[in-house]
Structure 1
């Protein structure tokens, strides 16, 4: 192929490419697309992030904490504390600390966490019991309001304010109900059948108890008047938000992200334990069961009894053996008195009465010397062998 043909082919390719580009340019229509990547890491870590942003947009200073350790640093005057965290491990001392803070002028808002137990006269929520409010299940209420069936929004909680024609609507969980047996509350908010928020004065401060705080989480805070209600409870104050910030432990995180490494580490530890536990050298054969003589067993048994029970036990055993043989050789031996028994033994064994009395006398309380003990045993054995 000559050079001219190559030039023609190249020009044709360039022309076709240009024509294709012009066609695509005329036919292509630009557009914008929004890709939802889900909640940001900050929103996933803080379920009340939208609530914080809403309050800040209305000029309220908002901070959040993970424990009550920050409470001494918070001035109760013109400050609101939102307790939305888990309080199951709250101590009586911490309850006193929080209530003293509210009594000094703070606004306290917390979630009732436990149901009232009529039998025990308490609930498992120390803070709720201290403010003398009770929480129960709405389905257990015996006398619902007579106009409950006429409510067009029975599942919404209504808060009525002075100089307002219409109430504010909030999306509390209607499964729970708050009761005020002491008539301490000065304001409350109800759904068609139950009460879900109560506010009572406490010292120079106020305490607001709600059945749940899920209405202020993302995205529920954007519904109804949920956001406005949170602003209403904390208006003209700074806000500190405490919420459940329990994190996974180190072992849980390691198992979640490095399971293969943990399994390999456990396998290595197991192999190492197996290695260090292996015997070095040949295994010793078990000793034969019949290697000892009868006398060795008897001597070992006697040594054991001597160590644990003392000399008197051995001497008494020999004395009883002598008396048992005497009863066998001499009918009516047990009916004789001690002197007559010694005379009978003297005739049977041809031993002097003095030796018999020494051998059968009760063993002394004191420990005998080895020579005395051996002499006493020898006397008893001689008597026994003579019978």
Structure 2
């Protein structure tokens, strides 16, 4: 390589290094926190934040998928039923109420994602305490006025709502003994309840009227039952909003553990299809009936054809063969077959009869391409009464005839 070329390459390399150093000096490094969303465990367990929060309070919280074992709880503690409205039968409800009567605390919500209309379904425990679920359509006559008032309050507010919190529309206040400031609870999207407040231990009224409540409690023996419109305020995105987490610590029994049963008794696929698409199901059933009617038997049973004639011929041949074998007429049948083959050869080759036996065998072997010994045994050997040898003899004659 020429010296001038080396100098040029060195200059280019120095320029590239200088440009890279200048670009590196102009880079501004920034640190950013990127929210990767919920972990896999949080997606599978909507109450994972609740468990972790209570663990810091030295309270063991267990989340069970399904209602198995709910009627076998014992000892002191708190039981929460999630999405279980209308899912308990009378016997299981009675056993659970006996546990409450002995000093347990039961928390239930008026929510079941597998029931389309809660007003059409009754819950055993809700009904026993005369607590009914009020659909939003029954109490939202002043909805437009409430929305206008909410919009005005949000416009005047300078505080931004925290992330994952549902807003300021349905904030409720709960007074706790020993605290001067009431708790602020986010009851957004919760069901309204109607209950006999004269018998209630405590309640949280709705924002529009005192005739309905968001939460109501009743004493039952030595225990307590809390009916809530929804438990959504304690799920992963919302438990950190307002005083939702602190309310949980005030409701549960600190001396015992907490067990949360999440109902998963979903309806069958056919029941869901019938609920949401009944006309589609009826159309499919009618189409299936029409198809079966078209493919099915409409003119009486089908009489299958039996090939009686072929069966009779086979039986006749078999019977004739057995008769010949029994009456020792096999030799005559074999001789007739041999004569037929020799007659065909005589017509095909004039002068065939005048040939000697060995020459005849050679002629047949040339035409049929069969072995010399097979031809001699099949055409000129004595007929035997042994079944195996007789079968081989007939097989050889058949091969000779087919070869011709």
Scaled to the shorter chain, the TM-score interval is 0.5 to 0.7
Shift of 1:173: 4.0
Label 1:248 to 1:202 Cα distance change in 2 as closer, same or farther (>3 A). Answer: closer
Distance 1:19 1:247 in 2: 68
Q: Which of the residues 130, 133, 148 maps onto 2:131?
A: 133
Aligned partner of residue 187 in structure 2, secondary structure: coil
Distance 2:204 2:80 in 1: 18
Shift of 1:195: 0.9
Aligned partner of residue 24 in structure 1, secondary structure: helix
Which residue number corresponds to residue 177 of structure 1?
Answer: 192
Any idea what the Cα deviations from partners look like across 1:100-148, whole Å, max 9, x if unmatched? 222222111011248897xxxx952222113332232466469x9xxx9
- RMSD between aligned alpha carbons? 3.7
Shift of 1:216: 1.5
TM-score by length of 2: 0.52
Aligned partner of residue 220 in structure 1, secondary structure: coil
Q: Retained in 1: the 8 A contact 2:84–2:109? A: no
The answer as to 2:229 corresponding to 1:231 is: no
Label 1:171 to 1:62 Cα distance change in 2 as closer, same or farther (>3 A). Answer: same
Aligned partner of residue 90 in structure 1, secondary structure: coil
Label 1:116 to 1:181 Cα distance change in 2 as closer, same or farther (>3 A). Answer: farther
Label 1:182 to 1:219 Cα distance change in 2 as closer, same or farther (>3 A). Answer: closer
Distance 2:225 2:126 in 1: 11
Shift of 1:248: 12
Q: Retained in 1: the 8 A contact 2:110–2:191? A: no
Any idea what the Cα deviations from partners look like across 1:212-254, whole Å, max 9, x if unmatched? 111112322222211111121114131111224579999xxxx
Number of residue pairs the alignment of both structures matches: 242
The answer as to 2:124 corresponding to 1:105 is: no
Which residue number corresponds to residue 19 of structure 1?
Answer: 18
Any idea what the Cα deviations from partners look like across 1:165-207, whole Å, max 9, x if unmatched? 3321212246643233383311111232231111111122111
How do 1:74-113 residues align onto structure 2 when only pairs under 5 Å count?
74-77=73-76, 79-113=77-111
How do 1:347-362 residues align onto structure 2 when only pairs under 5 Å count?
none
Which residue number corresponds to residue 43 of structure 2?
Answer: 44
Distance 2:268 2:20 in 1: 58
Distance 2:186 2:251 in 1: 15
Distance 2:268 2:27 in 1: 53
Q: Which of the residues 192, 209, 215 maps onto 2:233?
A: 215
Q: Retained in 2: the 8 A contact 1:112–1:212? A: yes
Gaps of 5+ in 1: 251-286, 288-387
TM-score by length of 1: 0.54
Distance 1:48 1:32 in 2: 31
Which residue number corresponds to residue 65 of structure 1?
Answer: 64
* Larger RCO (CA within 8 A; separation ≥ 6): 2
Distance 1:29 1:116 in 2: 58
Any idea what the Cα deviations from partners look like across 1:72-100, whole Å, max 9, x if unmatched? 664331x1111113344432222123212
Which residue number corresponds to residue 376 of structure 1?
Answer: none
Which residue number corresponds to residue 262 of structure 2?
Answer: 243
Distance 2:267 2:206 in 1: 37
Q: Retained in 2: the 8 A contact 1:170–1:226? A: yes
Q: Retained in 2: the 8 A contact 1:174–1:191? A: no
